[in-house]
Every structure is written in structure tokens, then in C-alpha cells.
């Protein structure tokens, strides 16, 4: 991103500033939309979906997305979902996979901070949640999700 910044003067171009709003340099293309759906199925869980490479990478988080540092929640990776799922809420009729009620809990943009073989560090900037999160793989489909640090403006607090 330093070359991008060197070639552009913020006052003379409407293009986004490199790293605007964050101190993190992002690899090109490593941003996208995200959605978190509250899914009242057989058991209540939250589905975290990150847009990447034209699909939504997905995790089911039974205890919900942590809202303070130090709390680690199991996240079970599930199948990639189509992008249209970003907008989905409604009733999945009885007898179908995931039968129950889906409602959008939060949505916004995410940005990759660092990807390693078994971990993903990323920013979430949503309407409800915002902060730097980490997913660490602990098994085939099992990951741990935790909040590494809330964003400085305190937006990680839930809206009341
Ligand atoms: Mn689900």
C-alpha cells in the first residue's frame, strides 16, 4: 500500500486513502462484506459469513460472537454460502436443513489483517460489532473465535 499512497495525493483524487480508518496495511482484495445471522434452529447459534473469492466463508458460532477480549467461543466451519446469503433472513420451513428462523444480527465490512495456515486475523466493522477478531483452527472444522481488540472508538458495544 505504500506505493499506492506515494502515487496519490489525497486532496486530488476521490480514491480511498490507503488504510483509511485503520493503521493496518491490507493485502489487495482482502476485504469484503460480512454478515452475522442469528439462526434459531434446533439450537440457537450465530452464523458468521465473510465474503471471499465470490463466496461467503461461513462459521456457526453456538455461543455468539465475543464482545470483549479474553472470551473464546467455538466456531464450527460450515460450507461456503452464495453471496446472496448476505441479504437473507426469514423462515426455513420445517423439514429442511437448518429449519428455523434466520435474522440478520449485524453486517458490514471485514478486512484481512493476517492470514496464517491455521489462523485468520481480521477487522470487522459492522453496525453492532467492530473490532479486530481472530479465528484459530483447532481441528478439521473446529476453530476458536475471539476478540483481539475492540476498535478505539468503542463501537464494539452493542446498540441498546
Ligand atoms: Mn445456521
- Over residues 36-50, the pLDDT tens digits come to 999 999 999 999 999
What is the C-alpha separation between 3 and 6, in angstroms, rounded? 5
Rg (CA), the chain: 17
Give the per-residue pLDDT at 28: 55
Position 14 scores a pLDDT of 56
- 26 vs 48, 97, 125, 159, CA distance in Å? 21, 36, 14, 28
What pLDDT score does 22 carry?
41
Residue 39 CA, ligand 1 centroid: distance in Å: 5
Find the 153 Cα to ligand 1 centroid distance in Å: 30
The better pLDDT of the pair 85, 159 is held by: 85
How far, in Å, is the centroid of ligand 1 from the Cα of 24? Answer: 31
Report the separation in Å between the CA atom of 59 and the middle of ligand 1, taken as the mean of its atom positions: 8
Q: Please check the confidence at residue 129 and state whether its pLDDT lies above 80.
A: yes
CA of 11 to the centre of ligand 1 (A): 45
**Residue 19's pLDDT band (boundaries 50, 70, 90)?**
very low
Terminal CA-to-CA distance of the chain, rounded, Å? Answer: 37
pLDDT of 27: 55
What residues pack around ion ligand 1 (CB closer than 5 A)?
39, 47
Q: How far is the CA of 75 from the centre of ligand 1 (A)?
A: 11
CA of 14 to the centre of ligand 1 (A): 39
What is the Å distance from ligand 1's center to 140 Cα?
18
Other CB atoms within 10 Å distance of the CB of residue 121: 16
Q: How many CA atoms lie within 13 A of 52 on its CB side?
A: 15
Q: Is the pLDDT of residue 155 over 80?
A: no
Amino acid at each position: 500500500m505504500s506505493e499506492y499512497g506515494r502515487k496519490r495525493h489525497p486532496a486530488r483524487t476521490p480514491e480511498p486513502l490507503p488504510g483509511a480508518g485503520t493503521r493496518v496495511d491490507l493485502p489487495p482484495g482482502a476485504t469484503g462484506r460480512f454478515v452475522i445471522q442469528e439462526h434459531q434452529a434446533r439450537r440457537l447459534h450465530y452464523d458468521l459469513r465473510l465474503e471471499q473469492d465470490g463466496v461467503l466463508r461461513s462459521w456457526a458460532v453456538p455461543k455468539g460472537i465475543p464482545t470483549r477480549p479474553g472470551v473464546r467461543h467455538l466456531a464450527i466451519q460450515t460450507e461456503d454460502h452464495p453471496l446472496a446469503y448476505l441479504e437473507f433472513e426469514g423462515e426455513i420451513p420445517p423439514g429442511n436443513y437448518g429449519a428455523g428462523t434466520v435474522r440478520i444480527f449485524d453486517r458490514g465490512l471485514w478486512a484481512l489483517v493476517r492470514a496464517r495456515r491455521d489462523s485468520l486475523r481480521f477487522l470487522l466493522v459492522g453496525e453492532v460489532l467492530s473490532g479486530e477478531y481472530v479465528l484459530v483452527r483447532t481441528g478439521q472444522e473446529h476453530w476458536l473465535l475471539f476478540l483481539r481488540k475492540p476498535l478505539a472508538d468503542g463501537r464494539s458495544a452493542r446498540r441498546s
